[in-house]
Chains A and B, each alone.
Chain A
Amino acid sequence: MSGTDAGTTLFRGVLPYGEGEPVDVLVADGRIAEIGRVTQRADRVVDAQGLVALPGFVDLHTHLREPGREDTETVQTASEAAALGGYTAVFAMANTDPVADNPVIVEYVWQRGRDVGLVDVHPIGAVSVGLRGERLAELGAMARSRAGVRLFSDDGHCVSDPLLMRRALEYTRALGGVVAQHAEDPRLTGGAQAHEGPAAAERGLAGWPAPAEESVVARDCLLAHHTGGRLHVCHVSTAGTADVLRWARGRGEGTITAEVTPHHLLLTDERLATYDPVNKVNPPLRTAADTEALRTALAEGVVDCVATDHAPHAPQEKDTEWACARPGMLGLQTALSVVVLTMVETGLLDWRGVARVMSERPAEIAGLADQGRPLRVGEPANLTLVDPEARWVVRGGELASIADNTPFEGMELPATVAATMLRGRLTSLDGKVLS
């Protein structure tokens, strides 16, 4: 794991942050040893002419499905998908079976991640026992476990009880923890199938109204400021939520951060037309106006980062009538391309901006010391090399995940991950996993 046995690697001709003249980057002992015109020999030389070098990506929101649903994804396959997608650290949500609401399960997931060794797997602990939203799980025990849990979330469910949310924000202060909220007032989303708007109404699909998210985010921001806790808002999906965040930031002692998913930056509820549940996700795909607002919010930093909400599902849970289908989409291998399509090609972000939203901010939010670091001599060699000119066509069956539920099936997307390096060891190269 330490990378000391990985030998030295020399990347020839990369563009750090896509800026300036091409330089060589030498990696030795798991760290960046030299940047510039490197004449020294290396164990491995990678011709990286024209590739953009970025700090390795960090995903605050994935569902690895292990333990419990190994038929759809495992730590092994998800780690491969992460390495191919340019990720060097991923956070695994707690809604496994059994639920990650105790030290045993979080240590198991953490250990599985280490065994696979392709990406740092950080388990997220459940906020409440069994995700039931009734009483706090043993947050401290999970924090003090070998997994060192710092992120807590009932994702999939909202911590809707305001008192429990208040206590979680207060209690995690002592742990240096962050409460990641899946904001959805369940009283407003009973039976909901799709974004409450004209598209769903026309197709007879029960609506998931935007205020069900926005009202919970507003409440939680107020509670974070009141308690001085750290709130992270998962998968922001509406323009209204972005407005609430813009208003709430810096208005009190609390720390408020937020993420947006690639699919909410690109896809809209026009997709309901086919009733194909590959487009079913929670929170649901919203309107074009929402995607525009979310792009702006991400560019401005109102929304801090991109997180995938990578959610594998078996075919029998997706190839059904809409109402029966499970919500969720694959995301690890398509995130970069969607960000390039929606943020870079539109001029909203440059490559430094991509580094910020895909790596630096998520690492800061989660308190990872060795991730999201600048590309400088002496820093840990967690790197992602992007080919900005390449284009590719998404095929769910060709992705590393066991499941193949990608909403981007058949789309031609820009940019590929040419190489991923975790602490000096290449984990993927040219679309192949190196283990």
Chain B
Amino acid sequence: MTLRRPGEFVTPPGRLTHRSLLLSGVSGPAGDQTSFNDPSSEAGKGVHFVAPRTRAGAADQGEQRQLLAAADVARTIARIAHQIIERTTPDAEDADRVLLLGIPSRGAPLARRLAAKIAEFSGVTIPTGTLDVTLYRDDLRRRPTRALESTSLPVDGIDDALVVLVDDVLFSGRTVRAALDALRDHGRPRAVQLAVLIDRGHRELPIRADYVGKNVPTARDEGVSVQLRETDGTDAVLLRRRGTETSR
């Protein structure tokens, strides 16, 4: 014989069963789950992807190749800085007001580094800011909810300025499109340019960069991962080979 206490049931009553109403998918950076194989999501930038993989151990080392070492990253940034000085002549009398706006997450430290180099090379301090484009993305509904990043624009705003958008990897071009939409809601720049550390091809929109650190031919299902000291503790650019993420 079974002893049962009041309120204890053998089987939960059928009519009381229903979906769990607890939340899921709210917490944590959504980018952890980015798919590698979907260029339209810009996931191929591997922004959130590589860090945990490299921590996963040496077994993966054979599956990825280093494109740029730390010194290469520094040299590349310096070269882009020189190109920006050349093209925008910030030290000229009648120069446009130039702003560097980094697209989080890695575009933001890149923009600050570029500004530092420009100051070093030209003596002119260019204001920097960050522009989160998450709310303007066209792929929100394809992914778990993303956490928002910071947007902080220079106090003078962006009206009539020459805005240089800065991002780590240019892939489908959709992030840049979102950034252009976001800019429009913040004001009316005189012109917008684009600087990227890596252009890996596979554009899906008529967008090209004005400043490219390195062109890297890739297959669509490969991943390019930029690592920066500020976000990853080290400077490097890695190419992840086809199929490596299938074990995830």
Same complex: yes
Stretch at the interface among B10-18, B117-125, B192-200, B202-210: B10-18
The residues of A that contact B13 with a CB separation of less than 8 Å are 278, 407-411
Instruction: Please tell me if A215 contacts chain B, counting CB pairs below 8 Å.
Output: no
Docked-complex contact B14 and A410, CB < 8 angstroms: yes
Which residue on chain A has the smallest CB distance to residue B15?
A: A409
Docked-complex contact B12 and A410, CB < 8 angstroms: yes
B1 contact from A271, A274, A347, Cβ within 8 A: A347
Number of interface residues of B (CB under 8 A): 17
Docked-complex contact B7 and A346, CB < 8 angstroms: no
B6 contact from A267, A395, A407, Cβ within 8 A: A267
Docked-complex contact B6 and A276, CB < 8 angstroms: no
Instruction: Please tell me if A241 contacts chain B, counting CB pairs below 8 Å.
Output: no
Docked-complex contact B1 and A266, CB < 8 angstroms: no
- Name the 3 nearest CB pairs between A and B, nearest first: A410-B14, A291-B6, A268-B7
Instruction: Please tell me if B5 contacts chain A, counting CB pairs below 8 Å.
Output: yes
Docked-complex contact A288 and B6, CB < 8 angstroms: yes
Q: When chains A and B are docked, how far (Å) is the Cα of A409 from the Cα of B15?
A: 7
Docked-complex contact B15 and A346, CB < 8 angstroms: no
Instruction: Please tell me if A413 contacts chain B, counting CB pairs below 8 Å.
Output: yes
Specify the main secondary structure of chain B where it touches its partner: loop
Instruction: Please tell me if A377 contacts chain B, counting CB pairs below 8 Å.
Output: no
* A–B Cβ pairs within 8 angstroms, 15 of them: A266-B6, A276-B15, A278-B13, A278-B15, A288-B6, A291-B6, A291-B7, A341-B4, A345-B3, A409-B14, A409-B15, A410-B11, A410-B16, A411-B10, A412-B10
Docked-complex contact B11 and A411, CB < 8 angstroms: yes
Q: When chains A and B are docked, how far (Å) is the Cα of A393 from the Cα of B11?
A: 9
Sample of 17 further A-B pairs with CB below 8 A, known A276-B16, A409-B13, A412-B11: A266-B6, A268-B6, A274-B18, A276-B15, A288-B6, A291-B6, A341-B4, A342-B4, A345-B1, A345-B3, A347-B3, A407-B13, A408-B13, A409-B14, A409-B16, A410-B17, A411-B10
Evaluate whether A345 and B2 lie within 8 angstroms (CB atoms) in the complex, with A410-B12, A410-B13 already known: yes
Instruction: Please tell me if A243 contacts chain B, counting CB pairs below 8 Å.
Output: no
Docked-complex contact A274 and B16, CB < 8 angstroms: yes
Residues of B within 8 A of A (CB): 1-7, 9-18
Instruction: Please tell me if A292 contacts chain B, counting CB pairs below 8 Å.
Output: yes
Q: How far is the CB of A297 from chain B (nearest CB, A)?
A: 14
Evaluate whether A411 and B1 lie within 8 angstroms (CB atoms) in the complex, with A276-B15, A276-B16, A278-B15 already known: no
Docked-complex contact B7 and A267, CB < 8 angstroms: yes
Evaluate whether A345 and B11 lie within 8 angstroms (CB atoms) in the complex, with A274-B16, A276-B16 already known: no
The residues of B that contact A266 with a CB separation of less than 8 Å are 6-7
Count of A-B contacts judged by CB separation below 8 Å: 56
The residues of B that contact A267 with a CB separation of less than 8 Å are 6-7
Instruction: Please tell me if A97 contacts chain B, counting CB pairs below 8 Å.
Output: no
Q: When chains A and B are docked, how far (Å) is the Cα of A167 from the Cα of B173?
A: 89
Evaluate whether A270 and B4 lie within 8 angstroms (CB atoms) in the complex, with A409-B13, A410-B13 already known: no
Instruction: Please tell me if A265 contacts chain B, counting CB pairs below 8 Å.
Output: yes
Q: When chains A and B are docked, how far (Å) is the Cα of A64 from the Cα of B11?
A: 29
When each residue 391-403 of chain A gets 1 if its CB lies under 8 Å from chain B and 0 otherwise, what string results?
0010110000000
In residues 27-79 of chain A, which contact B (Cβ within 8 Å)? none
In residues 338-361 of chain A, which contact B (Cβ within 8 Å)? 341-342, 345-347
Which residue on chain B has the smallest CB distance to residue A290?
A: B6
Which residue on chain B has the smallest CB distance to residue A394?
A: B13
Evaluate whether A292 and B6 lie within 8 angstroms (CB atoms) in the complex, with A278-B15, A410-B14, A410-B15 already known: yes
Docked-complex contact A265 and B6, CB < 8 angstroms: yes
When each residue 364-404 of chain A gets 1 if its CB lies under 8 Å from chain B and 0 otherwise, what string results?
00000000000000000000000000000101100000000
Which residue on chain A has the smallest CB distance to residue B14?
A: A410
Q: When chains A and B are docked, how far (Å) is the Cα of A141 from the Cα of B7?
A: 44
Docked-complex contact B7 and A288, CB < 8 angstroms: yes
Q: When chains A and B are docked, how far (Å) is the Cα of A413 from the Cα of B18?
A: 22
The residues of B that contact A347 with a CB separation of less than 8 Å are 1, 3
Q: When chains A and B are docked, how far (Å) is the Cα of A19 from the Cα of B36?
A: 73
Q: How far is the CB of B36 from chain A (nearest CB, A)?
A: 42
Docked-complex contact A411 and B3, CB < 8 angstroms: no
Q: When chains A and B are docked, how far (Å) is the Cα of A41 from the Cα of B236?
A: 99
Q: How far is the CB of A296 from chain B (nearest CB, A)?
A: 12
Q: When chains A and B are docked, how far (Å) is the Cα of A278 from the Cα of B7?
A: 15
Q: When chains A and B are docked, how far (Å) is the Cα of A96 from the Cα of B3?
A: 39
Q: How far is the CB of B11 from chain A (nearest CB, A)?
A: 5
In residues 153-196 of chain A, which contact B (Cβ within 8 Å)? none
Q: When chains A and B are docked, how far (Å) is the Cα of A413 from the Cα of B2?
A: 11
Q: When chains A and B are docked, how far (Å) is the Cα of A155 from the Cα of B4?
A: 31
The residues of A that contact B9 with a CB separation of less than 8 Å are 411
When each residue 239-280 of chain A gets 1 if its CB lies under 8 Å from chain B and 0 otherwise, what string results?
000000000000000000000000001111011001010100
Q: When chains A and B are docked, how far (Å) is the Cα of A342 from the Cα of B16?
A: 22
Q: When chains A and B are docked, how far (Å) is the Cα of A268 from the Cα of B13?
A: 14
In residues 291-345 of chain A, which contact B (Cβ within 8 Å)? 291-292, 295, 341-342, 345
B4 contact from A278, A345, A393, A408, Cβ within 8 A: A345
Q: How far is the CB of A386 from chain B (nearest CB, A)?
A: 15
Q: When chains A and B are docked, how far (Å) is the Cα of A291 from the Cα of B15?
A: 23
Q: How far is the CB of A123 from chain B (nearest CB, A)?
A: 32
Q: When chains A and B are docked, how far (Å) is the Cα of A63 from the Cα of B169?
A: 74
The residues of A that contact B11 with a CB separation of less than 8 Å are 393, 410-412
The residues of A that contact B3 with a CB separation of less than 8 Å are 345-347
A346 contact from B4, B14, B17, Cβ within 8 A: B4
Which residue on chain B has the smallest CB distance to residue A393?
A: B11
Q: How far is the CB of A338 from chain B (nearest CB, A)?
A: 11
Q: How far is the CB of B98 from chain A (nearest CB, A)?
A: 58
